[in-house]
Amino acid sequence: MANALHFSSTLQAAASPVFSKRMNKMHCKSLRVQTGNYNSVAACLAQSRSNRVLKVSCEAASVDVLEMSMTNNQAEKQLTCVMKFGGSSLASAERMREVAELILSFPNESPVIVLSAMGKTTNKLLLAGEKAVSCGVTNVDSIEELSFIKELHLRTAKELEVDESVIAKHLDELEQLLNGIAMMKELTPRTKDYLVSFGECMSTRIFAAYMNKIGAKARQYDAFEIGFITTDDFTNADILEATYPAVAQSLHGDWSRDPAIPIVTGFLGKGWRSCAITTLGRGGSDLTATTIGKALGLREIQVWKDVDGVLTCDPNIYPHAEPVPYLTFDEAAELAYFGAQVLHPQSMRPAREADIPVRVKNSYNSNAPGTLITRARDMRKAVLTSIVLKRNVTMLDIVSTRMLGQYGFLAKVFSIFEDLGISVDVVATSEVSISLTLDPSKLWCRELIQQELDHVVEELEKIAVVNLLQHRSIISLIGNVQRSSLILEKVFNVLRVKGINVQMISQGASKVNISLIVNDDEAEQCVRSLHAAFFESASLN
Ligand SMILES: Nc1ncnc2c1ncn2[C@@H]1O[C@H](COP(=O)(O)OP(=O)(O)O)[C@@H](O)[C@H]1O
Ligand SMILES: N[C@@H](CC(=O)OP(=O)(O)O)C(=O)O
């Protein structure tokens, strides 16, 4: 019977109307009570909140609740949104408490929670791995970063009063892994991914245990066990299509059998050939969140950060950057791709494909409206939305020696990059020349970079004169490119006054981004001046 309450006959007679009202509020479907009085049962229920099955044996004097399950309403309630909390939101036990409170302050939501590693754990794990390569097996236990990680996680568990056994196995395994690295004297990309996975595996276990402790039933998931299937590109893997149905089946299946807030590791996946743990690139938990949003067809994806949303520029460059209230998926994707650390470069793809709004919020200031990212927005008044800086870019000027026709020339240039697996960011071409920049994130993580660059130049020199220019920056102006004349007029005014020469400019293909290339050492100043011109003077925007 839907929403029926099953009491022992005595209690039913004694408590019916008031009690059933409370029961509904607690999402209780059935309850068997042996002995006891109404007040203590209600107290137990209040504590149990979202627990589906509760077994409480109190002393004979009060009550013995044997079983309780949720209302059909609750069981039928679907998962509604994703809430992702990054390392910046999870730095300590105190922060975890606040995040739990924040999640529970939305009683109408049934969220999937995605968590990154605590604070600076990922960086520390990578450093510990690098030290293990050269420190010798006997010295692993004195690696400072290992002690830091152990201490942080054990202290957090202790302060949250959850049993440290939830992470004990992982801490042991982590030390063993570092011993293995010390013995092998090498840290491969595959081992790096296994190494950093400990961060997310531990933060989610501690958090899920804490949620359960406070009576909010939660279930921990390792993404690599629930269908996050990726390419085998360790440290920068791509999510494969098979992920969506697999994740949906796993999370929906468990939820409909036995509802509990899913707490999922961000950032991690499983390589489809290797079956080893992979990672989605730094900041990849944003992508985990949007992937889950698409897989489950959720209403909204929330990414909770330590800033009031996406800002008009990196606050580390200019502290008075302002939140941007609305963005389109295209704008957010360009912004992320061209270096705004606030979002993972690939994270907008699943959200855009499934047309699910993404909200960027501040976990330290939940009342701030944040940024809402959707398919379209009113662009009538929009000029410039945000300024993004990507540093340490390598630029190539390639001038044809006319050994090939124009189309043969372009094809040859790009086939060289394809063969070497190097991605190109910004391109500008003329009939006989091409200027382009190489994606630094793909470039500098490769050990053989100088040889590879030499090889690129060598190959290109067969058909062109090549000039390799390093230490450049891309400044991306994200906004309404329909108004490019207005934007460029203002940009060049600023740059002329500052005496800065733009070495390349690209608009064209992207409808939301104009890219300028300048020297690295002029770039920050340039961003600050452009910010002042566009966002702090009343004349535009
Ligand atoms: N345009 C921008 N808007 C907002 N934050 C930015 C921007 N550019 C860089 N950031 C930086 O991104 C940080 C948030 O991203 P991140 O550290 O990855 O958060 P989390 O760990 O919560 O996922 C901010 O603290 C800020 O310093
Ligand atoms: N912990 C990983 C993944 C991640 O997404 O982190 P964050 O959400 O803190 O950016 C990293 O540091 O890259």
83-119 tens-digit pLDDT: 999 999 999 999 999 999 999 999 999 999 999 999 9
Q: In this model, does residue 328 exceed pLDDT 90?
A: yes
String of DSSP letters for 407-437: HHHHHHHHHHHHHHT--EEEEEE-SSEEEEE
Spacing, Cα 446 to ligand 2 middle (Å):
20
**Mean pLDDT value of segment 478-502:** 90
Q: In this model, does residue 527 exceed pLDDT 60?
A: yes
Q: In this model, does residue 52 exceed pLDDT 80?
A: no
Strand order in the sheet with 513-519: 424-429, 433-438, 384-400, 464-479, 513-519, 504-506
266-276 tens-digit pLDDT: 999 999 999 99
Number of the ligand closest to the Cα of 114: 2
Which atom of ligand 1 is nearest to 339's Cα? 8
Phi first, then psi: what are they for 461, rounded to 5°? -65, -10
Q: Strands (DSSP E) along 71-117, which ranges?
A: 81-85, 111-115
Please choose from 122, 194, 302, 347 the residue to mutate so as to test ligand 2's pocket, defined by most ligand atoms within 8 A of CB: 122
Q: Which residue has the higher pLDDT, 44 or 488?
A: 488
Question: What is the pLDDT at residue 455?
Answer: 83
Q: How many CB atoms lie within 10 A of CB 124?
A: 22
Number of the ligand closest to the Cα of 287: 2
Spacing, Cα 65 to ligand 2 middle (Å):
43
Helix (H, G, I), strand (E, B) or coil at 179: helix
String of DSSP letters for 334-346: HHHHTT-TTS-TT
Spacing, Cα 293 to ligand 1 middle (Å):
21
Tell me the β-bridge partners of 320. none
Question: What is the pLDDT at residue 403?
Answer: 63
- Strand-strand pairing, 358-362 and 218-221: unpaired
Confidence of residue 59 (pLDDT cuts 50, 70, 90): very low
In angstroms, the CA 155 to CA 348 distance is: 35
Q: In this model, does residue 412 exceed pLDDT 70?
A: yes
ipTM over the 0.95 cut-off:
yes
Which atom of ligand 1 is nearest to 340's Cα? 8
Spacing, Cα 307 to ligand 1 middle (Å):
7
Tell the residue nearest (CA) to atom 12 of ligand 1. 342
Give the global pTM.
0.84
Which atom of ligand 1 is nearest to 335's Cα? 1
Distance of CA 65 to the CA centre of its chain: 41
Please choose from 306, 524, 530 the residue to mutate so as to test ligand 1's pocket, defined by most ligand atoms within 8 A of CB: 306
Confidence of residue 425 (pLDDT cuts 50, 70, 90): confident
Which atom of ligand 2 is nearest to 87's Cα? 9
Which atom of ligand 2 is nearest to 285's Cα? 5
Question: What is the pLDDT at residue 19?
Answer: 40
Lowest mean pLDDT among 210-224, 314-328, 443-457, 520-534: 443-457
Number of the ligand closest to the Cα of 309: 1
